[in-house]
Structure 1
Amino acid sequence: MGYPVFADDLKVMDLNKKSVVNTINQYSYCVAEKDPAFKAALKASDILLPDGVGITIAAKILLGEKVKKIAGADLHAHLLEQMNEKNGSCFYLGASQTTLEKIGQRLATEYPNIRVGSFSPPFKAKFTAEDNERMIREVNTFAPDVLFIGMTAPKQEKWSLEHKDSLNVKGPICAIGAVFDFYAGTVKRPGKVWRDLGLEWLGRLLKEPKRMWKRYIYNGAVFGGYLLKEKFLSKSAPEQG
C-alpha cells in the first residue's frame, strides 16, 4: 500500500546508527491518507514497523508476504534489553512528569544498567520554536543511545522527521506513543493471550469503548475500503512485458 513496512527481525537493527523508527497500523494509515505531512513522515521512516493485524493482513492480500506484527511495546522491550546488556542510555521525550517518573522507577528495578533521562514537553497542539529548541537541548545534553518519543500520532512522527538531523542520538529515534503509558502503568495493555491471538485491538476497545470505537470500528471499515480499492487496482493494472 505504498509503505516500506519492516518484515525482518528486530535483532537486525543497528543500534549504533541514527535512524527514525515509526509504526503503522490501520488507524495511522487512514489518518495519513488525509494528512500529507504525516504520510510523508511515515514513508521517510528508516524502519516502519507493522503495528497492527490490519497491516499484516494487507501485506498478505496485496503482496503475498507474511509479515509479523511488531508493536511499539515490543520494540521498546527489545531495545531496553539490548541497552541493559551494554550499559547503554535512553531518553524519554513526551508524556507528563508523573508518567516519566513512574517509567524511571520501573526502569531502575528492571533494567538497572541503563542510564535514563527524560523531559516532559508542554501539552499543546503545536510547539513553538522555543519549545522545539528546549526539547532538542534536553536530548542533546543527555546524548542518549536511544530516544523514545511519546507525543501521540501524528505529532511525534512529524517531529522526529523534522528534527532528526538536530538530535544528538547515537541510535534509533523511536516514536512509540502509548507505550509510555503502558510501561508506566497508567494505562493497562491487553494481556499476552489477547496479543497472541492478534486481538490486542479488541482488548483495548473493550477497556475504552468510548475512546477507541472510532479508531478500531470506524477506521477499520475505512481501512478495509482502502484495501479493497488497492486490490482492485492491482488486478486491473495492465501486466508489464
Structure 2
Amino acid sequence: MNKISILNTHIHNLSMQETLAIVDNTISKGGQLHHVVVNAGKIVALQSDLQLRQSVNESDLINADGQAVVWASKILGKPLKERVAGIDLMVNLVELAHNKKYKVFFFGAKEEVVQAVVNNYSEAYSPDIIAGYRNGYFKKEEEQDIAREIANSGANMLFVAINSPTKENFLFTNRALLKNVNFIMGVGGSFDVVSGKVKRAPKWMQKSGLEWFYRFSQEPQRMWKRYLVGNSKFIGLVINEKRKSKY
C-alpha cells in the first residue's frame, strides 16, 4: 500500500473504495487488520505522546480522517487522494457486514448510546450482524478481560468509540488478544452520531473542511480547546515543516 509520512505520522494514500476493498479482502481471507484514522488534533498530540505515536504508526492501515490533513499533505508536496472519514468508513463497513454476513462488536460510549447504535443497526439491517456490545467505561485492569470477551464473541469487526489516546492504545496493546477479530478500528464519537445524540454537519461543511466548526458550535465550552487550540498548533506544525523543506 502506498504510504506517505508527514509530521511524524504515517498515512496510507487510499480512497474510501480502496480502503473498503482492503478490509473486505482481509476478512474474507481470515487475516487481521489494525486500522486507525488521524486528524489534526491527533497529529498534534502524537508529537509529544510517544505511546500514541507508536500506536498509530505501527497500525496496519492508517487513513486521513480530517480534511485539514489532506490539505496539509498537498501543501507539503505529498498529496493524499481524499479524506476517509472514520464515521463514513464505519457506516460503509456495517453495510458490508450485512451484505457479506460478517459480525460486528460495538465497544464504547455510554450504555444508552451504544444500545441505541445496536438497535438502529439491528433495525436497519438485521440483529444477526451484532456479535456483541459494551459501554466504554472500564478500569485499566479490566482491559484484557474486555479484549478476551470481544475476541470470543465471533466478531469479524470491532469498532471502539472511546476518546484518544485511550482507544488507540487499547487496540495496540491488546492486538494479540484480539487476533481472532479480522478488523479492529477506533471510531471516536461516531456512536453519538449514529445513535442520534449528536447531529453531523451538513455535506457541504464536511466537503469544505468545516465539520470541526459545526461540532464546535454544538458544544463550544467542551470543544474550544480541542478545535481552536489544536487546529492552531496543527497549522503551526505545517508551516514549520514547509519551511524546513525549503532548506
Q: Which residue of 2 aligns with 1:23?
A: 37
Report how far residue 65 of structure 1 moved.
1.3
Q: Which residue of 2 aligns with 1:114?
A: 129
Matched to 2:9, the amino acid is Y
Q: 1:3 aligns with which of 5, 9, 13?
A: 9
Normalised to the residue count of structure 1, the TM-score between the two structures is 0.90
Q: Which residue of 1 aligns with 2:197?
A: 186
Structure 2 residue ranges without an equivalent (≥5): 1-5
- Whether 2:23 is the aligned partner of 1:14: answer yes
Note the 1:137-176 alignment, pairs <5 A. Answer: 137-176=148-187
Distance 2:245 2:204 in 1: 35
Structure 1 residue ranges without an equivalent (≥5): 237-241
Q: SS state of the match for residue 33, structure 1? A: coil
Task: Point out the more displaced range, 171-180 or 193-202.
Answer: 193-202
Identity across aligned pairs (percent)? 26
Q: Which residue of 1 aligns with 2:74?
A: 60
Distance 1:117 1:75 in 2: 20
Report how far residue 141 of structure 1 moved.
2.0
Q: Is the 8 A contact 1:104 1:116 kept in 2?
A: no
Report how far residue 123 of structure 1 moved.
4.4
Q: 1:204 aligns with which of 193, 196, 215?
A: 215
Which 4+ residue blocks in structure 1 deviate beyond 6 angstroms? none
Q: SS state of the match for residue 79, structure 2? A: coil
CA distance 1:32–1:66, shift in 2 (3 Å): closer
Report how far residue 8 of structure 1 moved.
1.3
Report how far residue 199 of structure 1 moved.
1.3
Q: SS state of the match for residue 169, structure 1? A: coil
Distance 2:131 2:153 in 1: 9
- Whether 2:216 is the aligned partner of 1:218: answer no
Q: Which residue of 2 aligns with 1:239?
A: none
- Whether 2:238 is the aligned partner of 1:227: answer yes
Report how far residue 169 of structure 1 moved.
3.4
Normalised to the residue count of structure 2, the TM-score between the two structures is 0.88
1:3-46: CA deviation from partner (whole Å, max 9, x where unpaired): 22122132332331311111111111111112110111111121
Root-mean-square deviation (Å): 1.6
Distance 1:123 1:181 in 2: 18
Report how far residue 58 of structure 1 moved.
1.1
Report how far residue 191 of structure 1 moved.
2.3
Matched to 1:105, the amino acid is N
The number of equivalent residue pairs is 232
Task: Point out the more displaced range, 185-194 or 141-150.
Answer: 185-194
Report how far residue 106 of structure 1 moved.
0.1
Report how far residue 173 of structure 1 moved.
0.3
Distance 1:33 1:223 in 2: 10
Q: SS state of the match for residue 189, structure 1? A: coil
Q: SS state of the match for residue 23, structure 2? A: coil
Distance 1:63 1:95 in 2: 38
Q: SS state of the match for residue 137, structure 1? A: helix
Q: SS state of the match for residue 163, structure 2? A: coil
